[in-house]
A = this chain, B = another copy of it.
Amino acid sequence: MNVALAQLNYIPGDISYNSGKIITAIHEAHSMGAELVIFSELAVVGYPPLDLLNMHDITSGCMKAIKEIASHCNDIGAIVGGPSPNTGVYGKAFHNTAFMLYQGKVKAMVHKTLLPTYDVFDEDRYFEPGDTFFPVDFKDLSIAVTICEDLWEEQPYGDRGLVRLYGLSPLEEMMRHKPDLIVNIAANPFSHNKIKIREEIFCKNAKKYNLPLVSVNQVGGYTELLFDGNSVVINNKGEIVKRLPFFEESLTLIDVTEITAGNKKELKPVKSESANDVIPIVHKALVTGIRDYFTKSGIKKAVIGLSGGIDSAVVLALATEALGKENVMAILMPSCYSSSHSVTDAVEMANILGIGHHIVKIEEARAAFASMFEPFFKGRPADITEENIQARIRAVILMAFSNKFGHMVLNTSNKSEAAVGYGTLYGDMAGGLSVIGDIYKTEVYKLAAEINSKGVIIPQNIIDKPPSAELKPDQFDTDSLPPYSILDPILYRYIDMERSPSMIISEGYDADVVKRVIKLVRNSEYKRRQTPPVLRVSSKAFGSGRRIPIVAKY
């Protein structure tokens, strides 16, 4: 039997767009010779819909869309994800459901049982879990349909290794009925340190039950969350025999007889991507994240403050790749503290990329503010106030270009800065989207090398110079912070791995440095609360996956 995997890019809440896309793919799959086509989790509404699920018109629209989609499934079956009303006497209003559509009707519904509620996931907020476990029959196939987490009886949990979060395994329950095939429809967000774990879970299950497994993931950027697609087909020996592309839509046909080992037409295993360097995939992820954030918001153009430093250079390169050079504008905003190479390096880069740039010196505004504050600040030494004013003048400039020309400001802060609060609120922390806010400074250099791997885009001088905010004479990041080679590993352990200060110190890091760094992280929660959404590429980004009270003491 020919089965098509539909790895598509949806828009949350846009039911008519999503269902139109699904219907088109159904017809296309049919014309490719597919008997069944599989879509991802909550495809009809886009994942994550969040509190759009509290809106009557959206949820009722989803059920109408499912019926409409079913009417296109006459000679072809489709498995489509969407919310369905909970008809029980108690519980949350919806199930997270896989609809089996065939012969113009909804033939079966499978409700997700394991509802992830940790990190960026809030599924218990919306859904009532399923509690019956039967495979779905389609023609002569008995299919164990699972929805994302239903296949993940064990969860990777930082240092704690694999943790059993749930008391039951829907897949195990379904195995009593001896299905022929496992299908997993998913909305599995990308994080560079989870690619391998995800593959392992899929392969382990296929092998354990000696059944082929087809997983279909959504693809694209959804505010913070990026979905890599990377849908896979796995044979009953637990080998990946087909992989759909990273960060691209795909409608791919597979003959299910080819994924059972020992068959004549058995497909050969494909190479695992997980062993490879993740930086190229992160690169793709960020480009996708920018592109989809703009496209889905209906905005075409970006404006970026180009300082001559590495962070804004990397963001500029990524934005240009995502949006096209005609849609990106760089603004250089030198001050009296800017080094001469700041401007020349930035101009050189804009020229390499072929993007437009303007130079707007901030001195006039700085002088105006200095004069305005003179009566009030008289006799007080210059301090962080004056540094922040410069950063905020730059934000006023970028936002003015944004307002006047309709460009969105891209934020250029990295994860190290965001972590320790080394940035100015309403200054360099401003923008519509934080592109590299989940990339530590030491990783920014790797990304720069990757960007330059097919020819110089970022001038070497930008990569080589020591990091500086250039807000006062001869200022370097290391004046205020430990070197990034020490800072970043501490931050990674504290934030990503959720290790305690004492655990980090016991690994050999200097106790005073660890305490100072963690204090900086804790004291800057209030700043991070007001920053733009951060494209998430790790398993612990700032944003909805990390929720710390501002008012706290610890």
* CB proximity of A363 to chain B, nearest CB, Å: 9
Are A388 and B397 in touch, CB under 8 angstroms?
no
User: Does A516 interact with chain B (Cβ within 8 Å)?
Assistant: no
Q: Do the beta carbons of A547 and B50 come within 8 Å of each other?
A: yes
Nearest-CB residue, chain B, relative to A430: B426
Instruction: Establish whether residues A372 and B376, one from each chain, have CB atoms under 8 Å apart when the complex forms.
Output: no
* Complex-state Cα separation, A503 to B385, whole angstroms: 50
Interface size on A, residues (CB 8 A): 93
Per a CB cutoff under 8 Å, which of B364, B403, B426, B549 touches A383?
A: B403
Copies of chain A in the complex: 2
Q: Which of A144-152, A160-168, A195-203, A337-345 has 4 or more CB atoms under 8 Å from chain B? A: A160-168
Given A13-B553, A167-B90, A551-B222, are A526 and B56 also a contact pair (CB < 8 Å)?
no
Chain A residues at the B interface, C-beta cutoff of 8 Å? 11-15, 17, 46, 48-52, 54-58, 89-92, 117-118, 122, 124-125, 164-167, 221-223, 292-293, 296-297, 358, 360-362, 364-365, 367-369, 371-373, 376-377, 380, 383-385, 388-389, 392-393, 395-397, 399-401, 403-404, 425-426, 430, 432, 498-503, 526, 529-533, 544, 546-554
Q: How far is the CB of A121 from chain B (nearest CB, A)?
A: 9
Contact A532 B533 (CB under 8 A): no
Whether B122 lies near A547 (C-beta < 8 A) is: yes
Which of B388, B532, B553 is in CB contact (< 8 Å) with A400?
B388
**A551 lies within 8 A of B221 (CB):** yes
Q: For the complex, what is the distance from the CA of A223 to the CA of B526, rounded to whole Å?
A: 10
CA distance A12 to B549 in the complex (A): 7
Contacts of A223 in B (CB 8 A): 549-551
Q: How far is the CA of A46 from the CA of B550 in the complex (A)?
A: 13
Bound complex: CA A186 to CA B553 (Å)? 21
CB of A496 to closest CB in B, whole Å: 12
Chain B residues with CB below 8 A from A377, complex form: 400, 404
A525 nearest CB neighbor, chain B only: B223
Known interface pairs A373-B400, A376-B358, A403-B385; A296-B551 also in contact (CB < 8 Å)? yes
Tell me which residues across on chain B come within 8 A of A401, comparing CB atoms: 376
In this complex, what residue of B is CB-closest to A548? Answer: B51
